[in-house]
Homo-oligomer: A and B are copies of this chain.
Amino acid sequence: MQLSGQNYIGGGRSAAGNVLIQSIDASTGEKLPYNFYQATPVEVAAAATAAQVAYPLYRSLSASRRAEFLDAIADELDALGDDFIAHVCLETALPTGRIQGERARTSGQMRLFASVLRRGDFYAARIDHAQDQRKPLPRPDIRQYRIGLGPVAVFGASNFPLAFSTAGGDTASALAAGCPVVFKAHSGHMVTSEHVADAIIRAADSTAMPAGVFNMIYGSGVGEALIKHPAIQAVGFTGSLTGGRALYDMAAARPQPIPVFAEMSSINPMLLLPEAIKIRGAQIATELTASVVLGAGQFCTSPGMVIGIRSPEFSAFVQRFSELMADQPAQTMLNPSGLNSYCRGVESLLANSGISHLAGGVQTGNQALPQLFKADATLLIDGDPLLQEEVFGPATLVIEVADKAQLIEALQGLQGQLTATLIAEPTDLDAYADLLPLLEQKAGRVILNGYPTGVEVCDAMVHGGPWPATSDARGTSVGTLAIDRFLRPVCYQNYPDTLLPDALKENNPLGLMRLVDGVSTR
């Protein structure tokens, strides 16, 4: 395929600027022979305006029409050829099998949101019938459902070039909600982004969506102008705490502040309880090592902290875990800045006198070596910020606590998390039952006897959690509930049936489950 490197604005392509940027071969660090045109301020504004113009047209389409669009995107993604897969691998150093799997996840996610649109529960329709005879005043007929907020700016993640990027979960949920999208292409995979944007545009054309339903801009620094544009009504972001906080602050400082859903930083604590360590310590060490180094540890849900209670069995586990970690090979990271950031994180841990180094070679070259550390429990209890920081890469930290009381104290010192995991036997759960409420206060997802690195795309998933895991614990960026972030309720008072949207008409033409006079009914 021919790459034009031009911005996607209102259904057309635009290259008004003269700043050219290039994507990098993640394995060699060399520039790839494709030029991308950094969007000018005028182009950023044009993209936001195109989304604004599309908004009333797009949101007024029936949910089933929007579902057609999402299904068509899924089909276009699945039809992308080997050159696409090769390009993604080139830009990210991720293996072919992973990218093929991630593509299936991304198209599956689009189809799942299409099914949400068809089943219609996202409308959250509510009807309170008039009560003409009510005293002292009659009650009017009032009916509520939800509509899209308006144009959404989406910032993709480096670590999921498909599933959390151009056609990823934020884009899918915004489009499902009836919100046009302006996507800021991640500089780590601009070739990938162009392939995917083309697929989305083909789907928009084949399903006759309004021009401007999807727009994409390239460049560094263009995000600020995008977020500050008055047409933008919400933001989706996946990335670092620094990046997410900066976007959040810009959005909050607007004359009209807008909601930001930023998925940022999580160390995903794992609690290894005594009986489990006693019975299957060696197996846990093997599984945990695999989870820590999976994809070079470049997952939001990579386990960054492992907490256990002092015992001979826990010492044996740590010993085994250290040996396994020491044996893990170096891996190429997504990009040089990711590797730099990993090296800086590792150096900070090495430099702390309360932290000892259990496994991992001296970091050299352009690959990341797995690293294992052990920290004094007091560092966590005293709230040392170093222990709360996500080190993005194949490293983790063991903490040994004296007893259950200290375990609870340590957990209370933790900030918000995407996940918290218990590895436990039934007898552990009896003895440590009071940990469970604490874990759910800290995290969006609590896991029993599993590893956090798999994130199902389904109705019940929560990929969210209290700050700094995300900027708003009330949302999720994976799973169908993600659509809620981009919807707002509106109600109609005293409307005749003919003027009501189908979701609220008296005879329920869409066959929705609705809350009618306080009763859920179809």
Contact = CB atoms under 8 A, between A and B. Distances in A.
A413 interface: no
Contacts of A440: 147, 490, 492
Interface of A: 56, 60, 101, 115, 119, 121, 126-128, 136-137, 139-140, 142-144, 147, 149-150, 248-249, 252-253, 256-257, 259, 416, 429, 433, 436-438, 440-441, 443-450, 454, 456, 458-462, 464, 466-468, 471-474, 476, 481, 485, 487-496, 499, 513, 515, 517-518, 520, 522
Contacts of A495: 446, 448
Contacts of A128: 456, 458-461
A144 B474 CA distance: 13
Which of A137, A259, A462, A476 gathers the greatest number of chain B CB atoms within 10 Å?
A462
A125 to B, nearest CB: 9
A459 to B, nearest CB: 5
Total identical chains: 2
Given A256-B467, A443-B490, 4 more contacts: A142-B460, A257-B471, A440-B490, A520-B520
Contact of A493 (B126, B447, B488, B490): B447
Contacts of A515: 121, 459-460
A440 B306 CA distance: 50
Contacts of A256: 416, 466-468
B249 A458 contact: no
Contacts of A416: 256
A385 B435 CA distance: 54
Given A137-B454, A256-B468, A448-B499, A460 B143 contact: yes
A149 B461 CA distance: 18
A455 to B, nearest CB: 10
Contact of A142 (B121, B437, B461): B461
Nearest to A440: B490
A139 B460 CA distance: 12
A489 B462 contact: yes
A462 B448 contact: no
A429 B499 contact: yes
A481 B489 contact: yes
Given A127-B460, A513-B520, A474 B487 contact: yes
Contact of A257 (B136, B252, B449): B252
Which of A253, A450, A473, A481 gathers the greatest number of chain B CB atoms within 10 Å?
A473
B446 A492 contact: yes
